[in-house]
């Protein structure tokens, strides 16, 4: 798997290291008392001036405008466009001090989300939220199952017409239910499974499952299931007359590096598989590439569940808990802020978030 920093080790609020004492936009307005920025003239500043690491907000919110624009032009989906136009319109941040460096950075504290399934902002936040929850539950899982290993499984079927997507996804869900009852699957301690749909170059749809399985060490010895057997199994439970593409790979354990705990090493080893499993269901580039395809996809996937969990991982993601605070990732990060609420609002014409002092909320309000 990829050797990236595990997201549990990153600041999940994507805050920056901009120092409170050195505001990027208006140093002449520097104040020494809290809140640091409430009074200065900053209406021409953008979120990325304050916090370069919050650039993903601009990127995802601009994509939401693009996707919302597709919905706005379709009579059946105008209500989605209206909801998305409102999504994350105002972001309010507090200042959080890094006790090691003494630097202050912005950390999101308030936002409202539209929860339209294919909204690029909501997909992105949901993915971060699920990843954060996964890593939060990891210490307990490691404690309960110290010897457990992880397997990343991808199950595909041949591309289908986007008009047949709903039937195909229902067949895949049924097949998964049969798969987990098979003898080969029995040793699995827990699993998380998500659905992704990509667009084929010919305008078809390519639905597939990503699954993260927690397995006992015996999985690699007495219970070993060869790749060819996985292909046959998936073909059987899918009731296919061909052999589908299946990818199965073990997450390689890593020895802790210097200064790293065993838990951090485990989290790092899992990072690639976790981010691949708990990501968007359809990438925004596929949505905007073909409007008719995307509108049909929306119709076909209406109210279908795109995530399932089982065994020891059954409650890890808490998929039914999705408040604005959950999506803002303000809960449980343990960071004390200064009580101020700096507002930035979305500017469609600029495709950036801009400082909006009039929408600020004061300290301790
Ligand atoms: Zn949204």
Tallying the residues shown for the chain, one arrives at 365
Percent of the chain whose predicted confidence (pLDDT) is above 70: 86
pLDDT in tens, 7-63: 322 332 333 333 343 344 443 333 333 444 443 444 469 999 999 999 999 999 999
* Ligand 1 centre distance from Cα of residue 219 (Å): 40
* Ligand 1 centre distance from Cα of residue 112 (Å): 8
Total Cβ atoms within 10 A of residue 365: 8
Structure confidence at residue 337 (pLDDT): 86
Residues 262 and 146 in one domain: yes
Q: What is the pTM of this model?
A: 0.85
Q: What is the chain's mean pLDDT, rounded?
A: 87
CB 227 within 8 Å of CB 192: no
Residues 181 and 296 in one domain: yes
Give CA angle at 153 (132, 8), nearest 5°: 15
Percent of the chain whose predicted confidence (pLDDT) is above 90: 77
* Ligand 1 centre distance from Cα of residue 115 (Å): 5
* Ligand 1 centre distance from Cα of residue 117 (Å): 8
- pLDDT, mean of residues 214-238: 95
pLDDT in tens, 146-161: 999 999 999 999 999 9
Residues 340 and 220 in one domain: no
* Ligand 1 centre distance from Cα of residue 336 (Å): 27
pLDDT at 262 over 50: yes
Residues 196 and 262 in one domain: yes
Which residues are close to ligand 1, an ion, with C-beta < 5 A? 87, 113-114, 119, 121-122
pLDDT in tens, 314-352: 999 999 999 999 999 885 566 788 888 999 999 999 999
- pLDDT, mean of residues 241-268: 92
Asked whether residue 338 is domain-assigned, the answer is yes
CB 286 within 8 Å of CB 294: yes
Asked whether residue 145 is domain-assigned, the answer is yes
Residues 6 and 105 in one domain: yes
Asked whether residue 40 is domain-assigned, the answer is yes
* Ligand 1 centre distance from Cα of residue 120 (Å): 7
Residues 155 and 30 in one domain: no
Residues 132 and 202 in one domain: yes
Distance, CA of 92 to CA of 84 (rounded, Å): 18
pLDDT at 202 over 60: yes
* Ligand 1 centre distance from Cα of residue 307 (Å): 18
* Ligand 1 centre distance from Cα of residue 136 (Å): 24
* Ligand 1 centre distance from Cα of residue 148 (Å): 36
- The structural domain count of the chain equals 2
Asked whether residue 225 is domain-assigned, the answer is yes
* Ligand 1 centre distance from Cα of residue 119 (Å): 5
Query: What is the span of the domain harbouring residue 336?
Result: 2-115+327-359
* Ligand 1 centre distance from Cα of residue 84 (Å): 5
Asked whether residue 244 is domain-assigned, the answer is yes
Residues 80 and 190 in one domain: no
Distance, CA of 51 to CA of 70 (rounded, Å): 30
Q: CB within 8 A of 29, min separation 6: which ones?
A: 23, 37, 39, 40, 41, 42
* Ligand 1 centre distance from Cα of residue 124 (Å): 9
Asked whether residue 120 is domain-assigned, the answer is no
Distance, CA of 213 to CA of 193 (rounded, Å): 9
* Ligand 1 centre distance from Cα of residue 88 (Å): 7
Residue 29: burial class (beta carbons within 10 Å; 0-12, 13-18, 19+): middle
**Strand partners of residue 108:** 93
* Ligand 1 centre distance from Cα of residue 50 (Å): 23
* Ligand 1 centre distance from Cα of residue 206 (Å): 24
Residues 138 and 261 in one domain: yes
pLDDT in tens, 263-275: 999 999 999 999 9
């Amino acid at each position: 798997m990829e050797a990236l920093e595990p997201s549990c080790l990153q600041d999940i609020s994507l805050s920056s290291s901009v120092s409170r004492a050195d505001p990027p936009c208006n140093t002449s307005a520097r104040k020494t008392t809290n809140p640091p920025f409430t009074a200065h003239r900053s209406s021409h500043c953008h979120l990325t001036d304050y916090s370069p690491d919050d650039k993903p907000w601009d990127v995802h919110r601009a994509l939401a405008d693009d996707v919302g624009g597709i919905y706005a032009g379709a009579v059946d989906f105008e209500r989605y466009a209206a909801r998305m136009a409102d999504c994350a319109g105002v972001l309010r941040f507090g200042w959080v001090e890094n006790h090691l460096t003494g630097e202050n950075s912005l950390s999101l504290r308030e936002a409202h989300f539209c929860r339209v399934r294919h909204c690029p902002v909501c997909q992105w936040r949901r993915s971060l939220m699920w990843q954060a929850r996964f890593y939060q539950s990891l210490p307990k899982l490691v404690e309960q199952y110290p010897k457990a290993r992880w397997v990343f499984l991808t199950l595909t079927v041949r591309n289908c017409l986007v008009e047949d997507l709903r039937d195909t996804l229902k067949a895949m869900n049924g097949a998964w239910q049969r798969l987990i009852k098979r003898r080969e699957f029995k040793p699995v301690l827990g699993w998380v499974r998500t659905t992704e749909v990509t667009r084929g170059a010919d305008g078809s749809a390519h639905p597939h499952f990503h699954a993260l399985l927690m397995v006992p060490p015996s999985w690699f010895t007495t219970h070993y299931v060869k790749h060819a057997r996985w292909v046959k199994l998936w073909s059987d439970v899918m009731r296919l007359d061909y052999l589908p593409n299946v990818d199965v790979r073990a997450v390689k354990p890593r020895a802790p590096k210097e200064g790293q705990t065993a838990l951090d090493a485990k989290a790092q080893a899992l990072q690639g598989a976790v981010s691949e499993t708990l990501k968007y269901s359809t990438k925004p580039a596929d949505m905007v590439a073909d409007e008719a395809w995307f509108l049909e996809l929306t119709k076909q996937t209406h109210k279908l569940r795109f995530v399932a969990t089982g065994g020891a991982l059954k409650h890890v993601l808490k998929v039914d808990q999705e408040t604005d605070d959950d999506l803002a990732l303000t809960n449980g990060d343990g960071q004390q802020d200064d009580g101020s609420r700096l507002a930035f609002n979305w500017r469609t014409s600029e495709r950036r978030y801009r400082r909006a002092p009039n929408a600020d909320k004061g300290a301790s309000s």
